[in-house]
Amino acid sequence: MSENEALQKDVVISSRVRLARNYADMAFPPNMDEETAKEVVARVETALEDAPKEEHYTLHRVARMTAVDRQMWMENHLASPDLFQRPEAALVTNEEKTVSIMVDEEDHLRIQAILPGLQLGKAAGKAVAADAWLEKSATFAFDEEWGYLTSCPTNTGTGMRASAMLHLPAIAISQQIQPLIQAVSKVGLTVRGFYGEGSEAMGDLYQVSNQVTLGKSEEDIVSSVQAACRELAERERLTAQALCEAESLVFEDKIWRAYGALTNARIIDSKEFMTLWSSVRLGINLGILPASLDTIDKLMQQVQPAAIIKRAGQLLPELERSKARADFCRSSLAQV
Amino acid sequence: MLCEECNRNPATVRYTSIQNGKKVEKSLCAECMHANKLALPFAFSLNDLLAGLFDSGKTQEIQEASDLKCEACGLTYEQFRQSGLLGCAHCYEAFRKPLVPILHRIHGRVQHAGRVPRSAEELMQRKRDIQQLKDQLKEAISQENYEKAAELRDAIRTLEKPAAGKVGEADE
């Protein structure tokens, strides 16, 4: 079995685990003043001395980040927009950018590990390891009955959110998303569109995560999300196959048209890109298109707005960005 | 079935609303649902939902809770009810009574079953040890073994001394 197959990368884009932690003796972020916010960052700086040296952790201060940097951290899913609401806040990341710690977001610490494909257990291990070194010099808010105490009672207990980003184009085309959301909610999990608002999911990307954080162990949470993702991935594959067989000509035409646009268009905005990307990715998974899964997955990160601006070395108006995106898609897909 | 609003797209949502006291049902497509900004459950913010969760108790309990205030950070229960966010670790103690049903509604259970921080682990172990010694003390007294009882009492005192603070204040 190839690595891609083992990690179910055809359907599962990435796995994330985050832990919410607060210092016991300080007001929580939504209720704290600037001085406290600074002190939280100072504590994390001290704690960094206990971090394993080989991980090469770095602390980045929000106040010193450019707008493009902030956007970049968000595009890479290492920070949330809320982190940047506070100039005193900071972001800690390891060198390989698999672990990030948001400091002064909704909780004092939001420890997060992100890995490609379906590997929630490994991601949880990484987050817990970071929790262990952060804890050495600190006393976290904890209650014997209620576990780790967080700003929002929806995170109380383990403070853990285990989630995976899934690409479900076939399930979406066949209008099965709504029943799926209902089915998944019955086992204490939630599914929502990853990009876009409400029921709209750009690129057919959906996030599956646990809803309950109190009364379940970390292992139970991870294994229930992991099991649901496996099940959904299998359902997606079967649906894609069935669609392919039932409407093969119409289906193939749709995929080739998307590929045609992605490899020939001169202007592609982000929304259109996500639509084309989704069809092309499905075409690659079904063996219809020649490109590789790794290329198309990398492409999604590479054509996000901040990534384009970084590469150009200057701010670009939207139309210029759309042109740069189209150029990049052409050259990147021509290589295969 | 086509959307009853635009008669163009296939209907995907069954929308029920109350208009002038009458139940009105419509089958809509996602676009019309969105365009009309019709109230969908997911259009509520999380905090609105939480506020809703708070109010489903008995009137008297709500009244009692709304007078509560956290002495450590100054957050009132009313403020918590509006924002859905607690102000500090001590708030969980100050609002303990009204928080029990809230946590129960969110999570379905109210007993933590996950990881325990190192500092709390030591404290919990010490608590268990003290309880064990106390049980032994009771037994020693009932057996009129006063020598052993004195030893046990001293042991309990030694253990209890550093544990004067609660979880969260340890190691400080």
Nearest Cα residue to B43 out of A193, A198, A181: A198
Nearest to A143 among B87, B92, B119 (CB): B92
What are the residues facing B17 on neighbouring strands? B24
Mention every residue, 6+ apart, whose C-beta is less than 8 A from residue A160: A17, A18, A19, A20, A124, A127, A210, A213, A218, A221, B114
What pLDDT, on the 0 to 100 scale, is given for residue A91? Answer: 98
What mean pLDDT do residues B96-100 have?
A: 93
Q: Which residue has the higher pLDDT, B103 or B42?
A: B103
Which of A186, A214, A217 would you mutate first to test chain B, the one with the most B CBs within 10 A? A214
Residue A25 structure tokens: 């003796």
pLDDT of residue B162: 58
Average pLDDT over residues A16-29: 97
Please count the helices (runs of H) and the strands (runs of E) in chain A.
Answer: 12, 10
Question: Would you give the distance in Å from CA A12 to the centre of its chain?
Answer: 11
Tokens of B80: 């918590």
Inspect the interface and report whether the beta carbons of B169 and A25 lie closer than 8 Å: yes
Q: What is the largest CA-CA distance in chain A?
A: 64
**pLDDT tops 80 at residue A31:** yes
The 10s digit of each residue's pLDDT in B35-80 is 654 444 444 455 555 666 666 556 666 677 778 999 999 999 999 9
* pLDDT value for B50: 60
B69 vs B89: CA distance, rounded Å: 13
- Mean predicted confidence (pLDDT) in B18-33: 71
pLDDT reported for residue B57: 57
Ranking A309-323, B19-33, B129-143 by mean pLDDT, the lowest is B19-33
B165 has a pLDDT exceeding 60: no
When comparing pLDDT for A230 and A197, which is higher? A230
When pLDDT is cut at 50, 70 and 90, the band that residue B130 belongs to is confident
Closest A-chain CA to B119: A139
| CA-angle at A242, arms to A239 and A243, nearest 5° | 85
Per the CB < 8 Å rule, is A216 touching B113? Answer: yes
Dist CA B62 CA A194 (whole Å):
37
The complex scores an ipTM of 0.85
How are beta strands A12-21 and A109-116 bridged, if at all? antiparallel
Q: Which residue of A has its CA nearest to B31?
A: A200
Name the DSSP letter for residue A149. Answer: -
pLDDT tops 50 at residue A161: yes
Most A CBs within 10 A among B96, B107, B123, B130, hence the mutation to make, goes to B107
Mean pLDDT estimate for chain B: 77
Question: Which of A79-83, A93-97, A248-252, B125-129 bottoms out in mean pLDDT, i.e. has the lowest?
Answer: B125-129
What percent of the residues of chain A are helix, what percent strand, and what percent coil, each to the nearest 5?
A: 50, 15, 30
**Cα–Cα dist A101/A17, whole Å:** 12
For residue B31, pLDDT over 80 is answered with: no
- The reply to whether A179 touches chain B by the CB within 8 Å rule is no
Average pLDDT over residues A215-239: 95
Instruction: Say how far apart CA A21 and CA B148 lie, in whole Å.
Output: 44
B108: nearest CB among A26, A153, A215: A215
Instruction: Report CB contact under 8 Å: A31, B119.
Output: no
Confidence of residue B29 (pLDDT cuts 50, 70, 90): confident
Q: What is the rounded CA–CA span in Å between residue B20 and residue B144? A: 78
Residue B44's pLDDT is what?
A: 46
pTM here is 0.81
pLDDT at A248: 86
Q: Does A187 touch chain B (CB under 8 A)?
A: no
Q: Residue A222: enclosing H or E segment and its boundaries?
A: helix A218-246
Q: Which chain B residues touch A216 with a CB distance below 8 Å?
A: 113-114
